[in-house]
Amino acid sequence: MLDHDADTDNEGEAPLDMLEAYFTAHGWPCERHDDEMTASVKGSWTEYELRVLWREEDGVLQLLAFPDVKVADKGRGRIYETLGLVNEQLWMGHFELWSSSGILLYRNATAIEARDGEATMSLPTAELLVESAIDECERFYPVFQFVLWGGKSPAEAIAAAMVETQGEA
């Protein structure tokens, strides 16, 4: 979490301004163009590309996280089953597969209410949106790998990946 005071939490900033400051504070490379922004985040399993899209006319901010998983046509049936089982376990957002390219991604959108004609996002909202995307990608990346490369069924992959280790080695 970033160091911040209570005034920043309550006031907020324009959604892309807040997320750009958040990415920069974490040292994550990011680029911004109009109503879109991309950032690169190194996770435990892979590097994630985060893409943020702001639709001011609708007041909707969409965050996409790409965990660097591409699915060939022959593996899509098992991945679609996996997506169904994985998405049942998510509190917010969902995983999906882009049918045209076979790219797997996590997507979450949030409505940002405009006050006095200006949409603002608080730091806690930015943290929740970004950290939940990264956490879910980290949590389920092994599941997708077990199905695609390990020959496991979706249920077996989830059971194997969700084993929590106890203690220290």
- DSSP assignment, residue 152? -
Contact 102, 72 (CB under 8 A): yes
Distances (CA, A) of 53 to 94, 164, 168: 16, 34, 41
**pLDDT tens digit string along 84-93?**
999 999 999 9
Ordered domains of the chain (ranges, CATH):
6-73+91-138 (3.30.1460.10)
Q: CA-CA distance, 25 to 44, in Å (whole number)? A: 20
**pLDDT tens digit string along 98-156?**
999 999 999 999 999 888 778 999 999 999 999 999 999 999 999 999 999 999 999 99
- Rounded to two decimals, the pTM is 0.86
Q: Specify burial of residue 42 (Cβ count, 10 A radius: 0-12, 13-18, 19+).
A: exposed
